[in-house]
Structure 1
Amino acid sequence: MPTAPPTLRGELEDSPDAPAVRPAYGHPDLGRQVICPPRNADPTAFGRADELVLPMPGTGLVPCPSTPYGPTDCARSLQEHRRLLDQATHPQPPDRLQAPADPDRRTRHRWIVGHQVAFGVWRLLADKLQALLDGPTPRPRLVHEAARLYDTYSILLLYAGSCSARRYAATVRADMAVRDPAFSGQWTRDHAPLLELQRQVRRAFPAPSVSPLTRAARLNHHVHMTVAELLVPDGVSLLQQTGRDPAQKPTEAERNLSDDYFRVRRRPLCHDGFAAQIVLRIAQIRCDIAAHGLNHENANAAPQPPAIRRLHDEATELLLHLADTASENTGHPIRPSPSPQTL
């Protein structure tokens, strides 16, 4: 992704606009080892970017156990958030889903929420790529599912980076520089494992058998570069401004800074808790797009090539499919995935 800002906590912590961070809590029968995101978030909270709970990369999600008292908090959250997803494009959507009206605040909101969902997509995509590698031959359904996740990530890039270069410099980029003059998207924890899996898939299988995945990955790279050029026309990242070698591996402190900025707390997590968080943020994004458009400031930018226009046209379906994909291992009914022939 384009270079990311430092934690908005740094600039907004003392501001009345600062999104509140609510504590997580655990399953009754597992103590606090497995974290459930909070269920009873204030339904009137407006324009809020909640803390996202994720395990460390390489740590799997765990089953969400039943309790003698009925569904767990995470299961109830998932059910509630799927209802919110259905309400996201209503003429009067719940306040809980609405993005800030102020363009500067909305820019920051989109950057954080869009990246948080992207972190979930990276985890799901890594699972699909690993499942491909675990088989002797690439299964077409897995190839197409992974390709759709790449397209969804491309939509999130367009959403998160949809402001003007001027506003980006004054808000997101300025926030990053306050936190660390070299702040970089390369510091995110969750993307590095995905890069290695991509390389392994390319080496393991004949190119024609994974061509949909290859096309989606190339389009994603094109979208990434397009957004970066729109936001930073001179092409000089904060990392480059400091003279630091981009090949230098991030430190643990820099990884922590990235997590802190994007409001990510690293804890063990169950499948329901993961899905509930992703579905809520998809509902927020759908509500925001319905109210302000996917490109809320770049609508008059240069004409987009057909592949990017296709992403715009398919944004709703891709986001809804992501909600279903995130819910696959929760035991809750989801819409059936289309067959490869219909993709």
Structure 2
Amino acid sequence: MKGAVVALALPGAREWDFGDYPYGLEPLTLPVPGNDWLSDGTADTDLVDCYAGLADALRTGGLRTEPAAADDLEKLFWFRWIAGHHISFVIWRLLAGCLARLAEGDRDRWTTTAAAIEYVRAYSAMLIYTASSTQRIYNAVIRPSMYRLHSTFSGTWSADYPAVRSLFRARRAPKGVTVGGDALLREARLSHQIHLGVASKLVVDGRSLLQHLVDNPAAHQPRMWETVFDCYFLTARAPVTGHEVLSQFLRRCKAVVTDLATNGLYPAVADYDDFVPEELRTPDVLACERDLSDVVLRAAGLAVGAVRPAGRNERETEAVN
């Protein structure tokens, strides 16, 4: 039980305290989908104070750990793959909460939409972060690990993804979005663009495992796929509180920004080729990449109520038809 208590606790503000060592991992515990885990008023002073300490440490250069050597790269990129996905899962839940409140007629629609925009940007940042592996390590270590678990492994199997799927299709503004809809859709389209660029960058033929079997689909879609997905990503489902979910979120955000402050997004000891897909060379993507640490930590600040969404852009206040 001690390990579980540690994994649900708030992080310290300075030294590495995630996992048992730098670039180690911890399991993520989430409630089942549909559980309104933020309804218990858990955006308390402990969470706000923790965020403030992390923001100050990042600003003053206090978030550092042991830099990864060339022999550590598989461990580093595996950490990024799992921890970055953990952050994405929590972001999906936070984003789903925003969309649900908007659909129910949230009185402060701009603030909620603005928060959703920032959560989508944070998810885009995590796509960039998890895709920072070299192509060699991705295809030798990460991609085979998914294939070994299931030959058509897919991110769409996540139990937390269906609540936000329609937004990422970016065809029209979600129900209840009457201001800021254009900006929200732009962020969703940028996320899709980054996803395509990541596939072009990392996957030899640019196709997902699921796409490889598109001509021979499974006869049925067993419900166990959600469990397979959680198992792969070290995710458990249990009745945890909002405070515990957000504590885990802060733990991972701290670990990620510490890694970035120490190693950079593209570690100097890694052997990258020169190929960068067109989708990843646009100004918006490069800005997200440049500001990655600030973006992810702001998402944590929004989640715990320590910061408010970015200021309203008057050009985005027109009602969406």
Q: TM-score range by the shorter chain?
A: 0.7 to 0.9
Query: In 2 relative to 1, CA 244–172 (structure 1 residues): closer, same or farther, beyond 3 Å?
Result: farther
Does 2:99 match 1:129? yes
Give 3-state SS (helix, strand or coil) of 2:236's partner. Answer: strand
Choose which of 291, 297, 302 in structure 2 pairs with 1:320.
Answer: 297
Does 2:34 match 1:58? yes
Count residues in correspondence.
300
Corresponding letter in the other structure for 1:161: A
Q: Give the match for residue 340 of structure 1.
A: 312
**TM-score normalised to the size of structure 2?**
0.79
Map of 1:259-270 to 2, 5 A cutoff?
259-270=230-241
Corresponding letter in the other structure for 2:290: D
Q: 1:240: how far off?
A: 3.1
Is the Cα–Cα contact under 8 Å of residues 113 and 177 in structure 2 kept in the other structure?
no
Choose which of 55, 73, 81 in structure 2 pairs with 1:111.
Answer: 81
Map of 1:265-284 to 2, 5 A cutoff?
265-284=236-255
Q: Give the match for residue 8 of structure 1.
A: none
Corresponding letter in the other structure for 2:147: A
Q: Give the match for residue 37 of structure 1.
A: 8
Choose which of 253, 258, 263 in structure 1 pairs with 2:224.
Answer: 253
Is the Cα–Cα contact under 8 Å of residues 165 and 230 in structure 1 kept in the other structure?
yes
Q: Give the match for residue 130 of structure 2.
A: 160
Give 3-state SS (helix, strand or coil) of 2:200's partner. Answer: helix
Give 3-state SS (helix, strand or coil) of 1:53's partner. Answer: strand
Is the Cα–Cα contact under 8 Å of residues 85 and 283 in structure 1 kept in the other structure?
no
Identity %: 26
Corresponding letter in the other structure for 2:293: T
Q: CA RMSD in A?
A: 3.6
Query: In 2 relative to 1, CA 62–218 (structure 1 residues): closer, same or farther, beyond 3 Å?
Result: closer
Is the Cα–Cα contact under 8 Å of residues 89 and 290 in structure 1 kept in the other structure?
no
Query: In 2 relative to 1, CA 175–326 (structure 1 residues): closer, same or farther, beyond 3 Å?
Result: same
- The gaps in structure 1 that reach 5 residues or longer are 1-20, 26-34, 67-73, 329-333
- CA–CA separation in structure 1 for the residues paired with 2:217 and 2:45: 42
Give 3-state SS (helix, strand or coil) of 1:265's partner. Answer: strand
Q: 1:181: how far off?
A: 2.1
Is the Cα–Cα contact under 8 Å of residues 51 and 263 in structure 1 kept in the other structure?
yes
Q: Give the match for residue 7 of structure 1.
A: none
- CA–CA separation in structure 2 for the residues paired with 1:138 and 1:249: 43
Corresponding letter in the other structure for 2:98: K
Query: In 2 relative to 1, CA 156–209 (structure 1 residues): closer, same or farther, beyond 3 Å?
Result: closer
- CA–CA separation in structure 2 for the residues paired with 1:141 and 1:216: 16
- The gaps in structure 2 that reach 5 residues or longer are 12-16, 317-321
Corresponding letter in the other structure for 1:151: R
